[in-house]
Chain A
Amino acid sequence: MTVDADRAASESLEGSRDLLIEMQRRMLRIRLLETQVMKLVKIGAETAGPYHLYTGEEAVAVGACLALRDDDYITGTHRSHGHPIAKGGDLRKAMAELLGKRTGYCKGKGGSMHLADFSIGVLGESGIVGSAMPTAIGAALGSKLQGNDRVVVCFFGDGAVNSGPFHETLNLASIWKLPVIFVCENNMYAITTAARDMMAVPEVAVRASNYAMPGVVVDGQDVVAVHRAVATAVTRARTGDGPSLIEAKTYRYDDHSVGLQRIVRTPYRTDDEIAAWQGDRDPLTIHAAYLRDNAVMTEAELAELQSEVADAIADALTFARESPFPDASELYDDMFTVPISAD
């Protein structure tokens, strides 16, 4: 099965104005948060460690997460800022975590690569590539054993496709008919290595046939197209028909992590390639045009939305800055649910 992304995007989306607007709002939240993070990292006084920005890939997380219910689950990757926000997460807790504060999602223990919000089904992002894929199918197994109809979206990148967990989890999900949607964010590069050089078969979606599940290629820059493809897979998963694999073709605008170009001085992407994606292929630009063309939002309303989100990001930053760092006495907190002595 393949979805013709252009056709899907041009069809009306069940007339759901609120949903279409929410898509733009959540993409803007990610974009403006990442813009703010980039500024903070470049100054460097308040940040620590690597930050992997989701800029350019917003339509994938938002299109997918808006096809889910609040009580559905997601797992993600080291590029972790976009997924929880797409799922409806709290910008304040996200920003506070990015600055290592105790009010952050993980009380300052997880940081940029490990945002999580279990209250809305965000079961954590994994710093190890491919490592959260088995976790995702476990949550899906939990749904099955508990007899509820919650589904799981498992986000992973093209790099993870070559790791063992990809094979093991797709096979296990298929033989157990688990309610999981595998969403590959194919941004074409694992740090500096091009997927085309690392995959014997460069298309990810075709691998689905090896596991007896549908494989779909979708334009990852078109939030409506992503939503449509994921919604179809969600229906399949929720009704007990098992997993699906969706390959979203996308692009990260920035380096693997902010500042990596100081170490990796040899270019691995051309300026033309980057410019092409940032131009016509920008997910926010594409969706803004869709909203205007279909008379969902006016230019003024789009500007107002942008301003609303900018205010929310500013509020989140203020909250994070005013929040305390974790106290030294909290070092051992949350090691165990039933605590034990440190040594």
Chain B
Amino acid sequence: MTTATEVKPRIISTAQSIQEALVEEFRRDERVFVMGQDLQKGVDGGTAALFNEFGGERVRDCPISENAFVGAAVGAAAVGMRPIVTSSCCFMWAAMDSLISQAAKMQYMFGGQASLPLVFRMTELWGGSMAAHHSDRIHPLFMQIPGFKVVMASNPYDSKGLLKTAIREDDPVIFFEDRMAGAARGPVPLEDYTVPFGVADIKRAGSDVTIVGVGGMVNMALKAAEQLEAEGVSVEVVDPRTIVPLDRDTILESVAKTGRLVTVDIAHKRCSVASEISAMVAEHGFGSLKAPIKRVATENVHIPFSTALEPLCYPTPDKIADAVRETLA
């Protein structure tokens, strides 16, 4: 647990905590700059304040050339800058060659000649009737491709601390911003702090069932845990916070205690983070399990526009609670 308790913290939103992290890191290190679309007017992610303080050289509005500006971030990092790219994850399909062929592979393929201090902030804005082109949740892909460290934060405190770690890290980091995590509010101290990669946080302690959620699904899992508490079921909610590196030990220790596991991911179920964590526990913690593992994730279908259909796709607290009940049946 890394939550600071010494200072009475303020309650702010995740969006605000991310903005604070950016401003503070921009002030701390002049090599940090950001590229993306519509940043200066702040359409995506409250970057207008950054522009007002640091100007257009460091807050760079880009044309709709995702592959070029993502690749440019790689080149700038290779010569000593610390670029941040901000985008909806849905637009990153157009940048996949730069992401995979260059950002992910450059350090290894050139034998460690380059360090690439890169951060890709990718928003995952599902659930807004935006249909299939604007509702993607693509984070499991980057768990599969070596070369990225991948952050999935669930609350304002972790978001700020993990983003600071990401900006200071000398490796390519993808920082996913889940819509549900973005809406969260919580305590964030005023003083400088970071949250380390690869250290899970137990967001709620319990003894009967372990739920591992990632990103905003942690908050949904906490809601499910409240429902289940009324039924006398004690749920432990583990938040990995980074999916690469993944804190296997904390997850396995929790499952060793509870003997039951539900994994929750907002990505499509097939080959999701829920799948990977389930496989990891089946491989390394099978002896602890008292019941089959359950995965709760998004239906393997494109996200439809209609408000009659879209909500059917995603995990809900009820679906998570049902999965927990099944492990206890």
Contacts and interface: CB of A to CB of B under 8 A. Distances in A.
Interface of A: 73, 75, 104-110, 114, 116-119, 123-124, 126-128, 131-143, 145-146, 150, 152, 164-165, 168-169, 171-172, 175, 333-338, 340-341, 343
A341 B280 CA distance: 14
Contacts of A110: 109-111
B115 A117 contact: no
Contacts of B198: 340-341
17 contacts: A75-B75, A106-B109, A107-B112, A110-B111, A116-B110, A135-B102, A138-B71, A138-B83, A145-B81, A146-B79, A165-B71, A169-B68, A172-B72, A334-B107, A334-B111, A337-B171, A338-B171
B78 A168 contact: no
Contacts of B65: 168-169, 171-172
Given A169-B72, A336-B171, A340-B245, 14 more contacts: A105-B111, A114-B110, A124-B78, A126-B101, A131-B71, A133-B68, A134-B102, A136-B75, A138-B72, A138-B79, A145-B76, A145-B81, A165-B97, A168-B67
A137 B112 contact: no
Contacts of B171: 336-338
Nearest to B247: A341
A168 B71 CA distance: 10
Chain B, interface size category, equals 35 or more
A335 B147 contact: yes
Contacts of B73: 138
B74 interface: yes
Given A134-B69, A138-B75, A142-B79, A337 B115 contact: yes
B42 interface: no
Nearest to A125: B110
A187 to B, nearest CB: 22
B76 A114 contact: no
A137 B80 contact: no
A343 B247 CA distance: 10
A142 B68 contact: no
Contacts of B81: 141-142, 145-146
B75 A123 contact: yes
Nearest to B106: A124
A138 B77 contact: yes
B5 interface: no
Contacts, number: 169
B106 to A, nearest CB: 6
Contacts of A168: 63, 65, 67-68
A145 B72 CA distance: 13
B149 interface: yes
Residue among A108, A128, A142 with the most chain B CB within 10 A? A142
A143 B110 contact: no
A139 B108 contact: no
Nearest to B168: A338
B191 interface: no
B76 A109 contact: no
Nearest to A111: B109
Contact of B74 (A118, A128, A134, A335): A134
A343 B245 CA distance: 8
The 3 residue pairs across chains A and B that have the minimum distance between CB atoms: A134-B71, A138-B75, A334-B112
B128 to A, nearest CB: 28
A156 B259 CA distance: 57
A171 B63 contact: yes
